[in-house]
Structures are given as C-alpha cells and as structure tokens.
Chains A and B, each alone.
Chain A
Amino acid sequence: MSNTKEPLFSAKNRKLLSIPMSKENPITIQVLGICSALAVTAKLEPAFVMALSVTAVMAVGNVIISLLRKTIAPRIRIIVQLVVIAALVILVDQVLKAFLYDVSKQLSVFVGLIITNCIIMGRFEAFAMSNKTWPSFLDGLGNAAGYGWILIVVAFFRELLGSGTVWGYQVIPEGFYNFGYKDNGLMILPPAALIVVGIIIWVLRNKDKELIEEN
C-alpha cells in the first residue's frame, strides 16, 4: 500500500467507470448477461428498473465482497459470493414488490435471475476479490452502467418500433397508422433484442477499430 493517498477520482479510478461502458462492455464485448438483455427489453420501463436493480446489486455486492475479501477462505469463496448476490437480489425483489408492484410483475422471474447474471459473479471474482473497496464500488457502478445503457438503448428501439410508444407514451402519431404504418410485432419478441444488440456491436466496432479482433 502506498503512503500517499490516491484521489477519489484519479485517472485510474475514472477509467474503472468508463472502460466497462465502452471497451470492456459486459454485453457488447464480453457478451455476458445476454439472457436478461433479451427478456426485459420489450419496454423501456422494466429495462430501466432492471438496470437500476443490477446497479444496486453490483455496486453494493462489490463493496461487500471487497470488504470481506481478506476473510474469505478461497475454498468457499464462490459460495460466499453467491450468498451475497442472492441476499441482495432477494432484498431488491422484496422492495420492488412493495413499491413498484406492476414493474416487478413484468420483470417477474428476471429479478430473481439477477442471481445468475454472470456479469455480477464475474466482477466479484475478477475485481472485488483482489481490490480495495472504493475501486470495487466504481468497478461495480461502471459495469452496471455498461450493462444498463445497452439495456436501455435496446429497450428504446424495441418499444418504439414494436409498440409505437416510449415509456408507455404514444409517440408515433395516429396519422401514420392511418397511412398503413404498422408496429413491428417481431420487435416485441426476444429475438429482436439479439438483432438490436448485434447492430449496437456493429456500430461500436465501426467507431473503434481496436475492438475488431485480428484473424
């Protein structure tokens, strides 16, 4: 440990936040957490709540694991990580059921399935187990944000094209429908999320040639 105190938002720490948003994005680069990205992105509101829930679980979880990291015996570390995730997810689920009942019904099993979201476990194992609390917190936030913004972008397009609404409000004018415009039913189904995620990956790789692997 160095004696000079590192500033809270040093360049290194800022990177922890920014890199998972782009270069190491959990969904578009690491292709983790795809299952929930398909399932909850038909509408913007559940996608947003899902992103918030994952953020809460990931940031708090990373902090807890980082605090405990020296006490966790390597042999039971996966179990400890799972217990932490499961406990946090159950808390989130209970809070949603109490205060955001309709959204929690839409998210249904997918809140519970945050437990199996590989991004969270991955960050615990790869980062929080071997880093200090504050960087771990930032890493959790960064990865959750990287996951969240993809979710929200996908949900925006799926809701707009699939239902003609954004956050439940009609945005495509009635006149369009009179001229024969129709909502695209495919966009409501899970495969459409794959297509949208694919397009996002394509756009990202076009903007940043570094992401393209050599073959």
Chain B
Amino acid sequence: MFTNRYIFTYASIMVILVAAILSTASMVLKPFQEANVKAEKIQGILASANIETSREDAEVIFADHIIEELAVDTKGNVVMLTKDGKTEWFNDEIKAAVKYTRPFEIKLKEELRLKSYAEKGETVRPAIFPIFKLKKDGKEFFAVPVRGMGLWGPVWGNIAFESDFNTIAGAIFDHKGETPGLGAEINQGWFEGEFTGKTIFDEQHKFVSVAVVKGGVANSNISPSHGVDAISGGTITSNGVSDMLQDCLENYVPFIEKTLK
C-alpha cells in the first residue's frame, strides 16, 4: 500500500517542515528569552549583596545600586571600566579581541576556558573577569560571579564582598541539575547563609578561599573563618562549590592586592 519511495518522501518532507517551524519559533522567541536570562543574571548579582528584586524591575534596581563595572585581568590590571553608562578601555589588545561592550556581558565560562588554555601553555588572549561595585545603604560591596562544575552539570553563583574585598557579605548559588534534596540544596538559604562573614584571606594576607568541608568545619583543621559545612550526601557538589570558589576568586587576588592593600 505504501511504497518505500512514499515513506522516504513523506519522512523527508515532515522533517524539513518541522525543522522550519521550530527554527522560526526559536528566532521569534529569542529576544524574550534573552531578556529573561539577562534579568536573571542581574538578579543574581543583586541578590548576593542582599538586594531584593523581581524580574521586571531588575534592570532599574541594578541601575540604582551600581557604582561601576570593572573587568580585570589575572595580573591585577583594570582592563575595562563602565561607569554612568560610559565604557573606558585600558588595554587595546583585549579590546580588539572581544565583542564585550561592558563588563556585565563577560561570559565567565569562556574566560575560565581561556584561563585553562593559558595554563596549559597555549597562546590565547588574557582572560578578563568582571567585578560589580555596588552600593547599598551607604555601604560599598564588590560582587563577582563564580562558575564551576557540580556532579551532573554546571554550578554557578555570585559572591558579594564587603568593601575590604575579603569578608563575604552574601553568596548565592544555583545549579543546572544537581540531585534534589542533596546537591541541589546549594541554592537554598541555609547553605548560602553559611558563607556570610567568612573571609578569603588569612591573617598573613594570603589567599585561602573558602572551603566547603566534608564532615564539618569543626572536625577539620580548617579555620572556621575560611570554611563552611558541606552537604551530607552532596559531597561531589560540595567539592564542586569549593573548587569553583578557589578557581574563580583567585583571579581577583592580584587586583585586590594591587588596589586595596
């Protein structure tokens, strides 16, 4: 009844038709989706500094609180500075190599990849990392994004520091698909709250990051000001958060030492 030729033609036409419909839908809806993603990114930055927002007013509130956006390289030099809507570049070589128009647009995933290439000895452009200088109730905060790997996929977050760029004022995390009830708990307040007040430099001003400690900080040799308790049953996610903080925060150390000490 149905010849092979009929079946092949039928299948081909169907697939092409469906592909056309789906790609059209994707193109039409993309601007809306990107606006959501952008608002979410802003919300993440603000939430780390304990500034409440909703998705709709995120951009307005961000404009109220932002003092300046910086991008720094791993040697501690400021590469890009956006203030009051104007962007200034201090490194023409990087300017020529990237498409970013403000530090907010920096894709952390890409920069971390460049950093790992550079560590393997490949010649790539220097990686740059964003810093958001925020003000709230007369106090200044530095918020930085972090990104790493959990058990099942990426984990990310934002860390806000007090004006000394050492004491954590707030941290928020999120994840793509960690185990519910275990690793997925990293985006819950009780875990994020553990980070508030911790410091990333020890008394000798050496960078130590903040470790997420399996078995509890109290039972380890890590000082309570540089460690938080891991999540039971979520060891790999916890380690992921620990590594993420180490890998991402170390990029800012030269900048902190250069400008704030």
Asked if chains A and B come from one complex, the reply is yes
A-to-B contact residues, CB < 8 Å: 71-76, 79-80, 83, 87, 90-91, 94-95, 97-99, 101-102, 108-109, 189
A193 nearest CB across to chain B (Å):
13
Judge whether B22 and A97 touch: CB under 8 Å.
Answer: no
Interfacial chain B residues near A94, Cβ < 8 Å: 25-26, 29, 33
Interfacial chain B residues near A108, Cβ < 8 Å: 177
- Range of interface residues on B (Cβ < 8 Å): 20 to 34
Judge whether B36 and A80 touch: CB under 8 Å.
Answer: no
What are 17 inter-chain pairs, A to B, with CB distance below 8 A? A73-B6, A73-B10, A74-B2, A76-B7, A76-B10, A76-B11, A80-B11, A80-B14, A83-B15, A95-B29, A97-B32, A97-B36, A99-B32, A101-B33, A101-B36, A108-B177, A189-B181
Alpha-carbon separation in the docked complex, A108 to B26 (Å)? 18
Interfacial chain A residues near B15, Cβ < 8 Å: 83
A4 nearest CB across to chain B (Å):
30
Alpha-carbon separation in the docked complex, A109 to B153 (Å)? 13
Alpha-carbon separation in the docked complex, A90 to B26 (Å)? 9
B56 nearest CB across to chain A (Å):
11
| Closest A-B pairs by Cβ, 5 of them | A98-B32, A73-B2, A101-B36, A98-B29, A87-B18
Contact with A along B1-16 (1 / 0, CB 8 A): 1100011001100110
Judge whether B11 and A101 touch: CB under 8 Å.
Answer: no
Q: Determine the residue in chain A with the shortest Cβ distance to B1.
A: A73
B-to-A contact residues, CB < 8 Å: 1-2, 6-7, 10-11, 14-15, 18, 21-22, 25-26, 29, 32-33, 36, 40, 55, 177, 181
Alpha-carbon separation in the docked complex, A140 to B27 (Å)? 29
Alpha-carbon separation in the docked complex, A95 to B32 (Å)? 9
Q: Determine the residue in chain B with the shortest Cβ distance to A87.
A: B18
Alpha-carbon separation in the docked complex, A102 to B39 (Å)? 11
Judge whether A101 and B21 touch: CB under 8 Å.
Answer: no
Interfacial chain B residues near A101, Cβ < 8 Å: 33, 36, 40, 55
A83-B18, A101-B40, A189-B181 as given contacts; A71 in contact with B25, CB under 8 Å:
no
Judge whether B33 and A97 touch: CB under 8 Å.
Answer: yes
Interfacial chain B residues near A72, Cβ < 8 Å: 10
B150 nearest CB across to chain A (Å):
15
Interfacial chain A residues near B1, Cβ < 8 Å: 73
B165 nearest CB across to chain A (Å):
31
Interfacial chain A residues near B25, Cβ < 8 Å: 90-91, 94-95
A126 nearest CB across to chain B (Å):
21
Judge whether B33 and A98 touch: CB under 8 Å.
Answer: yes
Interfacial chain A residues near B22, Cβ < 8 Å: 87, 90-91
Interfacial chain B residues near A71, Cβ < 8 Å: 10
Q: Determine the residue in chain A with the shortest Cβ distance to B15.
A: A83
Which residue among B25, B55, B181 has the maximum number of chain A CB atoms within 10 Å of its CB?
B25
Alpha-carbon separation in the docked complex, A99 to B22 (Å)? 17
Alpha-carbon separation in the docked complex, A74 to B18 (Å)? 20
